[in-house]
């Protein structure tokens, strides 16, 4: 059994900062890609940032403001969000491509989502 647990969402004023965390746990053999997506009301889920073997990608809308990082020893991925804007308001989901100890291939797992609201 593998699961991802997110934390760190909340309400913040425009220009403020938040840090999201996502920890993978369970029968993990290996993890390659980890990252974050978000979904705003009435919109499709969109990629925010990913990290895989040291290669990092960001959505254009968050470049220079968000930073993704990863602690492989803790199976945890982080998203530091600075200079937040109202348009960053969304439910943020983490994901990870994980090979469990019972399988020989990777499976994509998702967190439960954490709400981020940017408002004055």
pLDDT-based confidence at 31, cuts 50/70/90? very high
How does the average pLDDT of the chain come out, rounded?
96
Convert the pLDDT of each residue in 78-103 to its tens digit.
Answer: 999 999 999 999 999 999 999 998 88
Strand partners, 108: 97
Query: Is residue 47 within 8 Å of residue 94, measured between CB atoms?
Result: no
Closest C-alpha to 68, from 96, 83, 48, 90: 48
Query: Is residue 15 within 8 Å of residue 84, measured between CB atoms?
Result: yes
pLDDT-based confidence at 104, cuts 50/70/90? confident
The average pLDDT across 14-37 equals: 97
CA–CA separation, 94 and 49 (whole Å): 10
């Amino acid at each position: 059994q593998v699961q991802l647990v997110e934390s760190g969402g909340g309400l913040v004023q425009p220009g403020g900062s938040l840090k999201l965390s996502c920890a993978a746990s369970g029968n993990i053999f290996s993890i390659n890609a980890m990252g974050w997506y978000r979904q705003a009301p009435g919109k499709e889920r969109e990629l925010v940032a990913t990290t895989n073997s040291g290669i990092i990608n960001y959505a254009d809308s968050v470049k220079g403001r968000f930073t993704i990082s990863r602690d492989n020893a803790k199976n945890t991925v982080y998203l530091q969000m600075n200079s937040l804007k109202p348009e960053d308001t969304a439910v943020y989901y983490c994901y990870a491509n994980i090979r469990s100890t019972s399988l020989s291939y990777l499976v994509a797992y998702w967190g439960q989502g954490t709400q981020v609201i940017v408002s004055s």
